[in-house]
């Protein structure tokens, strides 16, 4: 797309920007990651797992939620690669993935809480 093809010319040279713009599918991947943080319980679980490795029963107790509800959130977080799990005997332990995406989202959550929820 060139400037001449735009309905309105505002005097901006945007060809270079459009050449660098990621593909629509890449934005969909990012939107999928952000959608996982659209639930406050899921954000809390993700935050917790960024700081420790824990099993479903303990996460449920810490979050004051049922184990099935926690399992549902863990499944969503795991499907998009934000958390990982490991089995030890009958127990499954979860923690945040050591990926750039998980680290960035963790940092964003902490900064947003700091900005949006300042201490009185």
What does the pLDDT read at residue 2?
40
What does the pLDDT read at residue 72?
96
What does the pLDDT read at residue 53?
97
CA–CA distance, 59 with 43 (Å, rounded to integer): 13
**Cα–Cα nearest to 102, from 37, 40, 21, 41:** 37
Work out the mean pLDDT of the chain and round it to a whole number: 87
Segment 78-95, tens digit of pLDDT: 998 999 999 999 999 999
CA–CA distance, 87 with 79 (Å, rounded to integer): 17
pTM more than 0.85: no
Kindly state the helix (H) or strand (E) to which residue 83 belongs, with its residue range: strand 83-88
Collapse the DSSP code of 2 into the 3-class scheme (helix H, G, I; strand E, B; otherwise coil) and give the result: coil
């Amino acid at each position: 797309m060139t400037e001449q093809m735009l309905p309105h010319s505002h005097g901006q040279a945007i060809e270079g920007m459009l050449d660098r713009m990621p593909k629509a599918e890449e934005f969909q991947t990012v939107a999928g990651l952000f959608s996982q943080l659209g639930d406050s319980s899921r954000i809390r679980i993700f935050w917790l797992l960024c700081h420790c490795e824990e099993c479903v029963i303990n996460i449920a107790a810490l979050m004051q939620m049922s184990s099935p509800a926690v399992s549902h959130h863990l499944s969503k977080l795991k499907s998009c690669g934000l958390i990982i799990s490991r089995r030890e005997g009958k127990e499954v332990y979860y923690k945040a993935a050591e990926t750039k995406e998980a680290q960035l989202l963790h940092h964003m959550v902490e900064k947003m809480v700091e900005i949006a929820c300042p201490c009185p």
